[in-house]
Chain A
Amino acid sequence: MTHPDTRAIHAPSGGFWRRLRALTVKEFRQLLRDRSNLAIGVILPILLILLFGYGLSLDIRHANVAIVLEDGSPTARDVVAGLGGSDYIEPTYVLAMSDAEGLMRARQVDAIVRIPVDFSYRLAQGNATVQLVLHGTDAATAASLRAYVSAAIAGWGQRQADRAGRMGPAAGVQIIDRMWFNATNSSTWYLVPGLIVLIMTLVGGFLTSMVIAREWERGTMESLFVTPVRTLEILLAKIIPYFCVGLLGLLLCVAAALGLFALPLNGSLWVLLVSSMLYLIVALSLGLFISAAARNQFLASQIAVIATFLPALMLSGFLFDLHNVPIGIQRVASILPATYFVELAKMSFLAGDNFPLILRNWSILGVEAVVLITAAWLRTRKSLDH
């Protein structure tokens, strides 16, 4: 026997840090060796940053509108003159309604404004109408156009009234609007904070959803179980590397937001970082729980997409305003951790620290993290019995 003492060295309870370190190093190695992880951890965030920053926009600019002036009178011309002159609407004048309808069918214009032949005549009678035909397929654009055109034409009516009443030009209620938190009034400003949510969700939910399932599938779990390793160590060792990948994504996003897209950071950086880390932990725990429950990579990844990514994109209030959805959907959204993080991220970038809100959302995220980690822990018992 070369080392009779090797048997006496086990110190079962004392090795927590040592074992955690060993497992974490292992996870890091596996993470770095698989190029597909890099794809999600680094390439996808950069792609998304560029897409969201430069590509996607919900702001309507230069909407094409066909204007059919069947009545050629100066009054009629005056009515529609108010429609141009902004970068909101790009008017195209056509002669006949049929031409305009052709353009709309071909989707070359989004709306038609028609001044009927008898417009001036009926205006004198007191019951003139302007026809507005909208292409309803893109309902959001159409609704915006409707509001804009209505406002423009009502504005003309008011100007007429002013002139007739020989009053000054600034009559009636004048709106002086101030857009808080979004000086440029650009959707980029709220899409980019939402982007951080997406990336944290991807790294946390999607990447980790497969890591425990993989160990089951490849049979490495059985070998791990019969060592002094504790379940919690296995779970923590899986969280740590992906947490780092998530942080990398976060830093990329914050740098891009501030550097490339010139977003303000009205709140404090540390609040943003803490919120992000907290959300990252929730997402990781959710991913681990899915992985532990599914024990099968295919199923786990499917559930992860359905349970983490799509809701974060569609229901977190990142794209669609939660005030305007039915109450049932609001309930669903109020369970989603992404909802709270979206609120925090927008607050940090655009609004500035609001501590009651921060504390409320942090504690909700904290509770969710604890619940999910516990669930993952309970689901990963060191046992082959199902």
Chain B
Amino acid sequence: MSVALADGLAIEAADLLKSFKEGKGKPAVAGISLGIPLGQLTALVGPDGAGKTTLLRMVAGLMKPDAGTLVVLGINVKRDPQAVQDRISYMPQRFGLYEDLSVQENLDLYADLHGVPANVRRDRFERMLTMTDMARFTHRPAGKLSGGMKQKLGLACTLVRAPDLLLLDEPTVGVDPLSRRELWRIVQQLVDEERLSVIVSTGYMDEAERCEHVIVMNDGKMLAQGTPEALREPADRCCFVAHPPSGVLARTLQARLIDDRVNIVDAVPVGGAVRFIRAAQADDADIAALLGNERSEAVPACLEDGVMTLLHAQSAAAASSIFATPSTSVATTPEDGERPVLIEVRDLVRRFGDFVAVASTSFKVQRGEIFGLLGPNGAGKTTTFRMLCGLLPATSGFLEVAGYNLRTARAEARGRVGYVSQKFALYGNLSAVENLTFFGGAYGLQGAGLRQRIEQVLDEFDLATHQHSPSGELPGGFKQRLAMAAALLHQPDILFLDEPTSGIDPLARRAFWRRITALSEAGTTVVITTHFMEEAEYCDRIVIQDAGRLLAIGTPDEVRAQVPDAADMNTAFIGIVEQARSQKPTTEKAVA
């Protein structure tokens, strides 16, 4: 069959239309026409709510388009979805693993459902397990795997057979850089060896950059498509790197730049400097003023720059309000001189039975710092995090948060802390205002004070437009902002954020970090975990953990310097973890 289709199109769509809620509201997919050739790796990028998932679900025959034609592998999906489903593999955003079945049983199930014969299966499983580095865990229930491992198992289940077309919906959300690299190695290998046609939606632009073809979506429409090289073009000759003056943090300069939505398209801290894209119509004098007359040098554009430029042109007006809002969520103003220590951790240990999740870890966090916890999935980050928040008692060690010892004064410490969990954890059927009222009340706010704070955070986090709709139905970015707002209502000293940017598009991430830097400037201490290594550049200091051990601690520059020739944090991170693993291979067993 693959031979017959060798020169055909994997997907051919014309004027695709799909709305929810019986046509009320904006359509999720609003008139898309495209043709995707076979045997090619295609990326689908765009902000949240752009319609990527809906498009993939229609291709997979899980949703019927309201109008338009959609032909997949030469089959009309609308008419015969099962025929398509017999030939494709699809990995949904949240792959439904059976958590009570073991890794092997999950694989067996999908192999049986796809009818992979026993002789083929043996080799295939072996290859999948080696590629995903899971051969040691075949008997472990899927529910007991770490987030990254689950994603890899999901991919392995999707790939138990070689399909004619592979659809991946954000396969690397919440996956650490090492696992991400492995995941992509698997996909790349299949494309190279089996000439597999793959469509992947992703929020990581470096992943999209690996693809032959990139489709940029926004608001249910296709904004642009082409090779990564072609899509870089809008940003060509607009990208620069500027070094902040001494004594100024890179993120301070970055904040100043990104607040100017007219002249600057995008700015991110990179390696102690700031990389930015100036708008095409930007005024040279304005740019110079922003940079404080520091000089900047031109750098070649990458795909992310191109996409950001495209999106900037689309949403310049709408986005401007999100960025430059002064924070009202801080109780204290920053102090001069030596900043007090707000979190102190000494010889912290946590065991689960024989398993050491966190081994003798010590660090201090000062007031107003942004402190990053990095590490592969299952490194002990979440365990450390949960202990800091008082959700999990430590096995041994000393733990002081906001001046309270967590052994003796948990409730008091909790009153000074805000927490945003990895998964959206507010009450889905309550509205934004109802959620905020509840959490405000739980933190002891009441009456006029509470109402005023709610007004403030609704405004600050730009939530007012959706304040009365059920929060579970809000788009991803909204939920994330609402969770932040709920955690900041009581103006905590410390804000804990567990992978807040997982599954969020680049634009929303910029806005998110702008808020964090503003909070930190005003004196709030922020402790954050992330899988986006470039986000470590926003932090004052970071730690890298693996297998429960602390591998590195210091400013991003200091950590980067530990690995010779590390161009960016991603390379440095992989270098540090791999080096530690090669020195102590026994720790490989550690998975939380």
Name A residues whose Cβ lies closer than 8 Å to a Cβ of B.
Answer: 1-12, 15, 18-19, 21-23, 25-26, 29-30, 33-34, 215, 218-230, 382-385
Contacts and interface: CB of A to CB of B under 8 A. Distances in A.
Nearest to A7: B162
B60 to A, nearest CB: 5
A12 B120 contact: no
B344 to A, nearest CB: 40
A355 to B, nearest CB: 43
A9 B96 contact: no
Nearest to B99: A218
Nearest to A215: B96
Given A5-B120, A226-B62, A29 B101 contact: yes
B139 interface: no
Nearest to A385: B63
Contacts of B101: 26, 29-30, 33
B116 interface: yes
Interface size class of B (residues with CB under 8 A): 35 or more
A383 B86 contact: no
B339 interface: no
Nearest to B196: A7
Given A19-B112, A26-B98, A220-B98, A6 B62 contact: no
List the 9 closest A-B pairs by CB distance, nearest first. A220-B96, A22-B112, A12-B86, A226-B90, A1-B193, A223-B96, A219-B96, A227-B113, A6-B162
A221 B112 contact: no
A19 B113 contact: yes
B112 to A, nearest CB: 3
B83 A2 contact: no
A230 B162 contact: no
Given A3-B124, A223-B157, A382-B81, 8 more contacts: A3-B120, A12-B86, A22-B109, A25-B109, A220-B97, A226-B92, A226-B167, A383-B64
B197 to A, nearest CB: 11
A8 B5 CA distance: 13
Given A15-B115, A219-B92, A226-B89, A383 B63 contact: yes
25 contacts: A3-B123, A6-B120, A7-B161, A7-B164, A9-B115, A15-B115, A26-B105, A26-B109, A29-B101, A30-B101, A33-B101, A34-B100, A215-B96, A218-B99, A222-B92, A222-B94, A225-B85, A226-B85, A226-B88, A226-B92, A228-B82, A229-B113, A382-B61, A383-B64, A384-B62
A224 B425 CA distance: 27
B100 A230 contact: no
A29 B99 CA distance: 11
B115 A222 contact: no
A21 B112 contact: yes
A22 B63 contact: no
A48 B405 CA distance: 52
Contact of A18 (B57, B60, B92, B112): B112
Contacts of B98: 26, 30, 220
Contacts of A21: 112
A225 B95 contact: no
Contacts of B194: 1, 4, 7
Q: Considering residues A6, A226, A382, which has the most beta carbons from chain B within 10 angstroms of its beta carbon?
A: A226
B410 interface: no
A382 B92 CA distance: 15
Interface string B66-90: 0000000000000001110111111
B2 interface: yes
Nearest to A229: B113
Interface in B139-192: 154, 157, 161-164, 167
